[in-house]
Amino acid sequence: MIPSWLDLFRERAPHLPVPPFMRPSPSARPAAVLILFGEGPDGPDVLLLERAATLKKHAGQPAFPGGSLDPEDGGPVGAALREAQEETGVEPSGVEVLGALPELYLSRSDFRVTPVAGWWHTPCAVSPGHPGEVASVSRVPIAELVDPDNRIALRAPGGFVGPAFKVRDMLVWGFTAGLLTNVLDAGGWAVPWDETRVEDLPPEVLNLAARG
């Protein structure tokens, strides 16, 4: 049974606003990510991974499990579940799909990404599915994500300022942090935080991001 704490998110998720600069381009490559909710020892949580620092693209970045669609996936749901299994060991049979969120366009990689939300009714052990691609996998409690002490605004070299999270020894920023922010707002879990707490993107993160 899907827990009641997901009710508001399920109602709002299909109608999340899409910023003009993230409206999908029909020519972009389709991709999907899995926003997987569970109930762990520290309460409701979300599954995140950290990509390997050796990757040519998105090196070292925390992210939701996901990737581009394969022909045999049958669509974003199949792709999100397959990628989650390959990257983290999540068993698709243990996930109830809640639905898809509006597509988002990533101009840097030319992907149109469909976030797929799921309820992890039968959790299993998770670990990096491919050490060369995934460095770590974490179940991050929602309580830690909304803790004001763990939230900052992050400034990129071009001057753009976006939300970020410092959780489980990870700096979650960029696309994933923006999507997480909308997810937390939609679920009614977000609490006020000091949005004037602005930090620059760390040089080591910037160097990894510059790869692609």
Task: Give residue 55's pLDDT.
Answer: 59
- CB–CB of 111/31 below 8 Å? yes
- Cα–Cα distance for residue pair 51/151, rounded to 1 Å: 21
SS3 label, residue 152 = strand
Domains of the chain: 4-209 (3.90.79.10)
Task: Give residue 141's pLDDT.
Answer: 98
Note the pLDDT tens digit of each residue in 12-40.
Answer: 999 998 988 888 888 899 999 999 999 99
Q: Which residue has the tokens 């827990």?
A: 3
Give 91's Cβ-side CA count (13 Å radius).
Answer: 7
Residue 210's pLDDT band, with cuts at 50, 70 and 90, is low
* 155 CB burial (10 A radius; 0-12, 13-18, 19+): middle
Q: Which residue has the tokens 């970045």?
A: 61
- Cα–Cα distance for residue pair 96/76, rounded to 1 Å: 14
53-62, 101-110, 150-159, 192-201: segment of lowest average pLDDT: 53-62
Give 31's Cβ-side CA count (13 Å radius).
Answer: 21
Note the pLDDT tens digit of each residue in 92-122.
Answer: 999 999 999 999 998 878 899 999 999 999 9
Centre a 10 Å sphere on the Cβ of residue 23 and count the other Cβ atoms it contains.
12
Prediction pTM value: 0.94
Residue 211's pLDDT band, with cuts at 50, 70 and 90, is low
In the predicted structure, residue 208 carries a pLDDT above the cut 70: no
